[in-house]
Amino acid sequence: ASDAWTAAGGRAAAGSGIKIGDIDTGIDHNHPFFDPTGFSYPPGFPKCDAADSATHTPDQNCNYVSPKVIVAKVFYNKAHQQGLDAQAIQDHGTHTAGIAAGVTGKTAVVNGVSIDDMSGIAPGAFLGNYNVFPGGVLNARSEDILNAVDAAVADGMDVLNLSLGGGYHGNNDLLAIGLDNAVDAGVTVAVAAGNSGPGPGTLESPGRARKIITVGASTNQHFVGQPFTYPAGGGTTIGAAVGDFPALPTASYDLFDTHSNGCTSVDPGASGKLAIIDRGVCTFSTKVRNAIAAGAIGVVVINNVAGDPTAMAKDGGGGDDLPAVMIGLDEGAALRASGETTASAVATFQEFITTNKDILAGFSSQGPTIVDLAVKPDLTSVGVNVLSSITCVGKPDTCPGDGTGWAFFSGTSMSTPHIAGSAAVLLDLHPDWSPAQVKSALANRADLVVKDAKTGIHDIGPTAQGAGRENLSVAADATTWLDPVSASFGQVTVGHPTSLTITLSNPTGSDETFSVSKTKFTPSTFGGTVSSVYDAGILSAGDDRITLLDSVTVPANGSTTLTVTVNAGHSLDTVQGWINLDGPGSNDLHFAYYAVVGH
């Protein structure tokens, strides 16, 4: 994002004047990540509802606002009778808001480790708190979310972030329709794809809406953990992620490899030792309880998907109070291959920088959308081990400096505000851009680099990653837009060629000519080593199942259409891949195509 920040007058100013509405669990406006120094209320703000006014008068004497967080409103049908307001009791919204628009110059403290130079994607942007999960409310009604969307549009928000999702609500999904209406009203809307992956058709509502930007999650390349060294006398040191379970005390340990997932039982041979257990099938707490029953003094869980290890959560069932950490899939394989039987741990945490970026998160929901079989998500962004602010409400006055006001979270909830913040930076740079232009700049100029969640090696298809992982600096230089951003054919009948048109728009004073090529995606399990749910496969140049022109010229200050035809052969097939438009210099775009050919 550095080039885009520079173009916007520096990172601290990026997104200046743009208003991001966060429809979530509220924003802790007093958190240093939302320091209002240098901000002033735009005309007509602050805004609040009666529940968030000290005098119970809308837009007067507002609580929970600042010149940075300029709106505080609550949307919950029982809020009045339960005495709930927009205050950020839960962590989630403060985390997503920080990713989108946290200010520069702050240092986060996590597990005693200080990480400096923190900021959101659009530090100069304003934030609006539209709380649909007040107090301890964990499930929001579609009606309340729609009311929050309507209020945010009416309040003049430029961008909406919805890091939320739920089950499929049919093709007449009122929330999806409402969000598309918000886009029609001129608001750019970013929505989480959901955390129901891996597997096709796992995309959640309202992420299925066509006009919004639907965001999948790919990996980061850092985490905070404790050093774990094998053998105990010194050798290879790796990072072990710590979550709800206690960290390993500083000590040397004997290792016992269960070679199992520990879900039914743990071999008594683990007694007095660290039990090595595979991730998967059951909860982490189940594994730990079985390790306790076997007499183990700690647990090392080996991840079952590529990328960095993640913090493990407890299941709430109790009886699982034992030190337990997670190490990465590759690191676990190396540990096993070494044959070492001892290890040591240090209880002092540190930040580990890795090479594990641009791997699809195993949990990231995949398309196509149910029934209409459209390409979703539109793109991915970082959604694993993302460090941001969490609420200090109800915590000691030493929050957040004591480490209780910052956390690493994972989910498409974290990738989505990266896109909302990116949209704010683009609108700061290009105030005349429409939501469709913002969406195309981000999606059609994304980097097609995301790999499969299982191995981190293989390419993945368009219904897993959309057009790839966002590249804000490239998006900021966009001079051509596509509408729609992908060619979603849905169901195509065998023997009946079907066409779609993509509109290309060129606002510059010169004609733009693009050479057109095709990249075919062919799914593969690579000899049964990667389950089909991870949508891994092979890319190849050309695809004779698709017909379109070899070049296209978009007139200056005008537009043209590109017709894409699925030939629909004589056999059942899933036709998928990307169309590449290569223009002069770095003016290159690509878009996904997807069709299910059947009877």
pLDDT of residue 597: 95
What are the tens digits of pLDDT across the range 266-287?
999 999 999 999 999 999 999 9
Q: Is 80 exceeded by the pLDDT of residue 257?
A: yes
pLDDT of residue 569: 83
Mean pLDDT for the chain? 96
DSSP code of residue 312: P
- What 3-state class would DSSP assign to 506? strand
Q: Is 80 exceeded by the pLDDT of residue 570?
A: no
Q: Which phi and psi (to 5°) does residue 300 adopt?
A: -115, 110
Q: Is 90 exceeded by the pLDDT of residue 86?
A: yes
Q: Given pLDDT bands bounded at 50, 70 and 90, which one contains residue 585?
A: confident
What are the tens digits of pLDDT across the range 395-420?
999 999 999 999 999 999 999 999 99
Maximum Cα–Cα distance across the chain = 75
Tell me the C-alpha distance between 402 and 555, whole Å: 58
Tell me the C-alpha distance between 541 and 194, whole Å: 31
DSSP code of residue 555: -
What are the tens digits of pLDDT across the range 445-471?
999 999 999 999 999 999 999 999 999
Tell me the C-alpha distance between 363 and 92, whole Å: 18
Lookup result for tokens 């802790």? 28
What are the tens digits of pLDDT across the range 130-162?
999 999 999 999 999 999 999 999 999 999 999
Q: Which helix (H) or strand (E) holds 115?
A: strand 113-118
Q: How far is CA 17 from the centre of its chain?
A: 25
Q: How far is CA 493 from the centre of its chain?
A: 35
Q: How would you label 563-599 residue by residue, b for 16+ Cβ within 10 Å and e otherwise?
A: ebebbbeeeebbbbbbbbbebeeebbbbbbbbbbbee
Q: How far is CA 257 from the centre of its chain?
A: 34
pLDDT of residue 232: 96
Radius of gyration for the alpha carbons in the chain, expressed in angstroms and rounded:
25
pTM: 0.95
pLDDT of residue 312: 92
Hey, CA dihedral for 299, 304, 308, 312, is it positive or negative? negative
- Please state, in angstroms and as integers, the Cα–Cα distance from residue 344 to each residue in 238, 252, 270, 288, following that order: 11, 4, 16, 19
Q: How many helices (H) and strands (E) does the chain have?
A: 11, 31
- Nearest in space to 113 (alpha carbons), one of 486, 480, 357, 403: 403
- Nearest in space to 593 (alpha carbons), one of 580, 581, 577: 577
- Provide the 10 A C-beta neighbour count for residue 113: 15
- Nearest in space to 329 (alpha carbons), one of 278, 288, 287: 278
pLDDT of residue 170: 74
Structural tokens at position 312: 């493990």
- What 3-state class would DSSP assign to 202? coil
- Nearest in space to 423 (alpha carbons), one of 164, 207, 117, 212: 212
- Nearest in space to 455 (alpha carbons), one of 535, 364, 335, 338: 535
Q: Given pLDDT bands bounded at 50, 70 and 90, which one contains residue 171?
A: confident
Cβ pair 84, 63 in contact under 8 A: no
The beta-strand segments (E) located in 466-534 are 481-483, 486-493, 498-506, 512-523
Q: In terms of DSSP H, where are the helices of 403-543?
A: 412-429, 435-443, 462-465, 472-476
Mean pLDDT to the nearest integer, 174-199? 97
Cβ pair 348, 354 in contact under 8 A: no
C-alpha triplet 428, 103, 108: angle, nearest 5°? 145
Structural tokens at position 283: 């909860």
Q: Given pLDDT bands bounded at 50, 70 and 90, which one contains residue 199?
A: very high
- Nearest in space to 201 (alpha carbons), one of 371, 443, 384, 382: 371
Burial class (CB in 10 A: 0-12, 13-18, 19+), 154: exposed
Q: In terms of DSSP H, where are the helices of 247-303?
A: 284-293
pLDDT of residue 169: 75
User: Could you tell me the domains of the chain?
Assistant: 2-220+358-443 (3.40.50.200), 222-352 (3.50.30.30), 479-598 (2.60.40.10)
Q: Is 80 exceeded by the pLDDT of residue 432?
A: yes
Mean pLDDT to the nearest integer, 553-562? 97
pLDDT of residue 579: 98
Cβ pair 206, 176 in contact under 8 A: yes
- Which residue type, as a one-letter code, is found at position 347? A
- Please state, in angstroms and as integers, the Cα–Cα distance from residue 220 to each residue in 102, 192, 294, following that order: 18, 17, 35
pLDDT of residue 172: 79
- Nearest in space to 359 (alpha carbons), one of 388, 330, 327, 389: 330
Q: Is 90 exceeded by the pLDDT of residue 584?
A: no
Q: Is 90 exceeded by the pLDDT of residue 571?
A: no
Q: Given pLDDT bands bounded at 50, 70 and 90, which one contains residue 122?
A: very high
